Structures are given as structure tokens and as C-alpha cells.
Structure 1
Amino acid sequence: MYCQCLRGFGQPLHGEERPDMIPRGSEVIVRVTAAGVCHTDLHIREGGFDLGHGRRLNYGERGMTLPTIAGHEVVGVVAAAGPDAGQIDTTKTYAIYPWGGCGDCDVCKSGEEQLCANPQFLGVHRDGGYATHIRVAHPRYLFDAGDLAAEVAAPLGCSGLTTFAALKKISATSGTHTPVLIGGGGLGLMCLQLLKAQNLKMPVVVDIASDKRDAAMAAGAVAVVDPTDEDAIGQIHKACGGAPLAVIDFVGAEKTTALAMDAVGKGATIVIVGLFGGATPWPIPMLPLKSATIRGSYTGSLSEFGELMEFARKGSITPIPTHIYPLEDADEVLNMLEGGKVIGRAILAKS
């Protein structure tokens, strides 16, 4: 098998050949047909992210070992299955749920494997999809992609699931009030499509990049705002018909979370998804004064992925813009993403 491997944090990915994988127990070996490129993959290459106040989360100190293969947005077909995997239809294309846990703790048994204290995430704790083949622990993580093109199905494992789960956290207001999305990249564009698919209020999108604002308008945003404008808060309030009651921050930087707190009204919910980094910038009294709820949202559950895939198979979700690149160019594509040059989602496939 061929893969793009990370051998040292802060170093480029390198292509290499490895022996073909043999499945054990309930494992399934999937031949990868498409793998999405995500900002989390950038953090993995960097070795961590900024926590603010001079602190940093380092993957190496958290037990992540190298070499590793990144990539958690993965679609493919079954190439081999272990003796305990049961019957699997090898003619189908599957989207892989990458956020598995230990499988034995109370959290996993409750269905929230993505919150397990001993995670086994593909592309983070286990080798991921920047490869021709990937090892999946159990068939329960495979979801029929139906007639979806591989490059359309691949981003659903993270971009789609993350936005789907985040939207559920603002469900109390999403049907009646205009939400605000901070970040018009792959996650923001996916969120626009999911709002549309569920007949929810379309949002105001905030982004510093004019091309991403243009893409958001084309995808159905009611308005777009440049956060560097002096009257950005006023523009948001005008477009929302007042102070918004729900903001999803797909960036997760100090400036974006500060903007969210400044913009929202009383009783609002701010959901932070992005991992750009930094420390919380809010004046503490504003939390009780605004009665604001601030929530984190990290990917989504196995059952939520099942719901999302059902939406997708029915054709309810308009695909976001995707660009396919050779797997061999994975490191260059990561550089493009880091430089803000990717609109929508970049997809890797073996040439």
C-alpha cells in the first residue's frame, strides 16, 4: 500500500510504500477512493495548537505517536474483512465514521464515542486515510454512501458531521431566528447546505476573505460581513433583524469569539467549533449580564452520522465546492489550506 506519512511534527509529509494490511478480528480493510483535507490535519502536522497565554497543546505530550498517517474524512470500498467482521457487501462504497472510542467505557456505551477519554480516532490515534488503504476497527463504522460520488461523501465524516452536530446545539432558535456563522470555509459552506436541507433560517456569514464571502452568498447566505469593518456588529444586527441569538464559530480564534460575544443578544448561544487557538477574551460580567450559553462542539456521534448519511443519500444536501488533488501532493495541499487558498473542500485521491 502507498501512504503519505508524517514522521516528525513540523515536518513535511513523505510518500512511502508499506506492506499490505491484513485484518484481524472484527477489522475491515478499506481501499480508499477519496480522503478530505481538514484543518485538523494541519494541526497534526504542526504538532498541536495554541491555547493562549503562552501555552500550547502538544499532541506528542498527549500520547500521539509517530510515524502516522493523517486523514479522517475517508470514503472507500471494502478490500478485506477479519473473521469476526460478519457479512459485508463489498460492492458498496462506504463513508467511514472516524471518531471511534475504546468501545467499553460508559461514554462509548451511551453512544458518544467521540467523547471517549481513550479515543481511537482515525488520522489521529490510528493511521488515517492519506493512503490507498485504511484499517477500520469494526463494520459499525461503515455507512453506505449510496450513489454519492466519493469526493462528495468524504467531507461528510468531519465537515458534514461537525456542522450537523453544531446545528443541533442551536436548534431551539434555528427555526425562527437568523443565525450567524463565523467562517465561510468548508465547514461554513457545509453548514449553509445543511440549514437549507432542513428548511431552517439561512444565516449571516462572517469572514475576512472576500472570495469566501462570495462563496457564502452564492450558497444562500442572507448577508455576508467582513469582521474588520468598523461597523461589523451593526451590519450583523441589521442583517439579523436585531442581536442574534445563535452564533456558530467555525474559526475559534480570540478575535472571532470576542466578535461573537459582542454581537449576541440576551439568552443567546455561542457554539465554538474551530481550533484556531488562543484564550477566551470575554469580560466575565458579560456572561451573566447576557445570560449567554457558550458551548463547545467536537465532531458528532455515531448515530448523528447515521442521520447525516441518510440526508445525504436522499440528495437533500447540495455538495459544497470540492477540488481533487493527487494523493502524492498531500503536503502541498495542506500548505494551500494553511494559506487560505482552498474554497470548500480539498480532496485527495491516488493518481
Structure 2
Amino acid sequence: MPVEIAPIAPPAHKAMPTYNGEHTMNKLCRQLSIESPGLTSRDCVFSFDVPIPEVPEHGARIRVVCAGACYHPRRSPSFSSLTSVSSSGSLPSEVSLEGDFPVTLPHHGVRDAALFPGYEVAGVVETLGEDLPGDCGYAVGDRVILYPYEGIPNAYVEYLVVHDLKYLIKIPDSMPLSVAAMLPTGALLAMNTVFAAHEHVQALLAQRGDHSVCKILIVGTGGLALWAMRIAAYHFSNMKDRVTITVASLKDDGLMVAQEFQRTYCDYSVNVVQWNEDLYEKQLIERTMDACQGPVDVVIDFGTTSRSLHRSMQCLNKGGVVFVIREVADRLLPKFSRRAEERQQSIKPVEQGSLEQLRELVELVASGEIEPPPHTVYPAEDALDVVHKLCHSEIHGRAILRFYPTD
């Protein structure tokens, strides 16, 4: 369950009364811009006023209540690849083999789900377009999340508009909006990755015959990995004797995360191996092999660096598959495709996930069949402190920014 660590302050611009769907007074709303902290400056969160967007004739205007906290990438001559980070995890010493990150930064790696700055959003339908039919399926006051379609507006704003209602999904009253905000990007990507892995697992078990076992390694204990652990435990619950799951923890609190997971899914055993970056690669690979009792068949790698991918492939069986995020695959496949071919392995990119999968995910979380990972809710006014806490790995699980205290 979410933990409020500070009282929720009133929003800087409170919504004014409406008449026929139009605001009668205030025409501005607050927007946040969250950037990666600079090398010499603490300034990374900027607040400014923007016009409240007009309601599309066939769409809706959403009052944002909660949004998952993550950075926008900031590029400079010192940065040669993606440098955004999010609340989903912390890789305090994860450095790409290309030297992507200057060592003077307080954070040295990429956090999971960093590819979705401001797209994890949950809110309330504030106004519907005037040309929508009465039976459009939505009403003012409905609690919704927004599927991350191409062109989705930035969600660190008090109001945003959706031009097509098909991208909205209603949220049950029983689900806190802070939980709902985690679903559209990180959780959905994790779900689609597990589904992709499931196809390979089924084919492998059928090929090997009865009583065979398939081994899965999940890299990371950030938001994506936390969701993947939970979704995999649910998805493979009917074949838990034939599918083993090991988590390679990229954080010092990986064991605690696994213990929490074990208490929730007490009938599914998950092994944990600590990827301590102070050790040599050979030691880390041997440690992983011991924890997995040999090479694994599937790796779900949310580490997103050359180093983690190289290590994952060293732990993989001949014929095995590594699943990585599409954006990461586009960056790393040119370097690793030949190596994968020589080792008779595959690296498969995973897309975001579909609207239908997101609807299914909402139902599974709402019913309690999948337990959300730990998260903490902060007032949006505290975004600067939140970013710095994330840099220093001081937040366990996800961080959610709340714009309105409606739950």
C-alpha cells in the first residue's frame, strides 16, 4: 500500500468552478519539468505556468492526480547515450562499457523505466468534448489512466487533454490512483516482456519433454524488475515446478526486495544473486551460475548497459534468449548481434505493450491477483527533493508525485 511521507499541500493553482464545461476564472495551470541533475547545479526541477489546454471536441480534459516520478534525459558533450533515470530503481555503480556516464555524477547508471518521463499518469475526467455522444462510455469524474500512445502529452502538468477516448482506461474505485499511475508504462512493459518470454519457455519445455525445467534470470530490482517478478510469478503459477526464477539484484537492498516478494508470493520460490560491481566479471558470472544451478534459458535484462548485457549473455545457455527494451536494443544490437550469433543466442527487443494488455493488467491488480510493488507518494511540490533522493537511492520502490489529494 502507498505510504504518505509528507502532508499533501494544496495545488499552486486550484481548479475553478466550471460552467458548461468551461472555466470561468483561472486559465493557467502548473507544469513541472524534471531534468537530470547537472554536474555543478542542483537545479533539475522547474515549475512554471502554462495555459489550461482547450478540450478537444471528440476528446477529454484530464485533471492529473498522480504521476510516476522520473527524469528527462539531459545531454551534453560528456554524455554519449541515454542518461535519464527514474524512481524505478538505482544502479549506483552500473557503468556502461562505452563510458556513457561521467563518474562525477551522483548517479552512475540508468534507472529502470527511465524511458517514460512523465507518462505514468492517473487522474480524473474533468471535461468531455462537446461533440461526444452521451453514450461515449465516460463521464465527468471518472477515474482513469492514459495509455502511452505516440504523441502523448507530458503528464507533469495539472491538466492534459486526450484527443481520442480509446486511450483512456477506467480505474475501479478500490484501486488508489497512486497504484494506477504505475501501470501504463513500467508495469505494462514488464507484462509484455513476461508474455514474450512465456512463448519461448513453452516452446523450450515442449522440445525438452516432460519433467524438464526452464530457468529465467531477471536482471534488476528497479520498477521494471519488481513488476516482472510479480507478473512472472502469477503467469507461471501453474507451472512453477518447471520454471525457476532468479533475480540478479543491482542494488544492496535486493535481498530485502526478494524477501518482501516471498512473503507476498509464498508459494513461488525466487532466488537472488547480488551483482556487486566491485567484483570482477568472472566472479559475478560464477556467482550467478551457482545461484541458478547452471546456465539459464531466458534473461529479462532491465540493466540497459553493455556491461549488464554482456554478463547476461555469459550466463545464458546455447539457444537462449535475452529480452531487452526496444530502445536499448536499437543502441546495443549493432555491437552484440555478432557475438550472439557466435554463441547461438538471441537478443530480442520488447515493445511497450498493447492497450488490451493494459486493460488486463488493471483487472489483475484491481482483483489482487498481482500485488503492486512498494511505492511512496510525495506532493508534487517536493519533486526536487524526490529527484535527489532517487539519485542517492533513498527511496524504496517507486516514487509517485501527487498533484491533488483526491483519493
Distance (whole Å) between structure 1 residues aligned to residue 260 and residue 180 of structure 2:
21
- The correspondence for 1:300, drawn from 336, 343, 353, is 353
- The equivalent residue for 2:283 is 231
Match for residue 25 of structure 1 among 57, 79, 83: 57
Question: Is the aligned partner of 1:259 residue 2:311?
Answer: yes
- Give yes or no for contact 1:5–1:70 (8 Å, CA) kept in 2: no
Of 186, 190, 201, 2:223 maps to: 186
TM-score, structure 2 as length reference = 0.68
Alignment identity in percent?
24
In the other structure, the counterpart of 1:59 is none
Q: Is the 8 A contact 2:68 2:400 kept in 1?
A: yes
8 Å Cα contact 2:337/2:347 also seen in 1:
no
Aligned match for 1:210, one of 234, 252, 266: 252
Q: 2:81 aligns with which of 47, 50, 67?
A: 50
2:163 is matched with which residue: 137, 154, 158? 137
Kept in 1: contact 2:254–2:274 (CA 8 A) = no
User: Distance in 1 between the 2:346 and 2:311 partners?
Assistant: 15
Q: Which amino acid aligns with 1:89?
A: A
The answer on 1:269 being equivalent to 2:321 is: yes
How far apart are residue 321 of structure 1 and its match?
A: 0.5
Unpaired segments ≥5 residues, structure 2: 1-28, 83-96, 102-115, 203-212, 263-268
Distance 1:215 1:12, change over 3 A: same
- The alignment status of 1:3 with 2:53, answered yes or no, reads no
Q: How many aligned residue pairs are there?
A: 312
Which SS does the other structure have where 2:169 is aligned?
strand
Distance in 2 (CA, whole Å) between partners of 1:345 and 1:35 is: 11
Distance 2:230 2:200 in 1: 18
Structure 2 counterpart SS, 1:26: coil
Native 8 Å contact 2:333 2:347 kept in 1: no
Match of 2:198 in 1: 171
Partner of 2:26: none
User: Judging changes above 3 Å, is the alpha-carbon distance between structure 1 residues 296 and 331 closer, same or farther for their aligned structure 2 residues?
Assistant: farther
SS in 2 for 1:16: strand
Q: Please, which of 375, 385, 393 is the counterpart of residue 340 of structure 1?
A: 393
Distance 1:202 1:328 in 2: 43
The structure with the largest alpha-carbon Rg is 2
CA distance in 1, matches of 2:376, 2:228: 18
Greater CA drift, 3-12 or 267-276: 3-12
Moved more, 276-285 or 196-205: 276-285
Question: How far apart, in 2, do the equivalents of 1:8 and 1:218 lie?
Answer: 30
Deviations 1:65-91 (A, max 9, x none): xxxx95100001100121344431334
Residues 164/84 of structure 1: CA separation in 2 closer, same or farther (3 Å cut): farther
Q: Give CA-to-partner distance per residue, 1:132-163, whole Å, 9 cap, x none.
A: 22222211111122121111111111111010
Letter in 2 for 1:75: A
d(CA) in 2 for partners of 1:132 and 1:76? Answer: 9
The verdict on how the C-alpha distance between 1:274 and 1:284 changes in structure 2, with shifts beyond 3 A counting, is: closer
CA distance in 2, matches of 1:49, 1:34: 32
State whether residues 67 and 402 of structure 2, in contact with CA within 8 Å, keep that contact through their aligned partners in structure 1: yes
Q: Tell me the CA shift for residue 339 of structure 1.
A: 3.4
Q: Deviations over 1:235-267 (max 9, x none)?
A: 322332321111111121111001111100011
State the secondary structure of the residue aligned to 2:179: helix
Distance 2:284 2:34 in 1: 40
Q: CA deviation at 1:268?
A: 0.7
The offset of 1:208, in angstroms, is 3.3
Query: In structure 2, the residue corresponding to 1:258 is in which secondary structure?
Result: helix
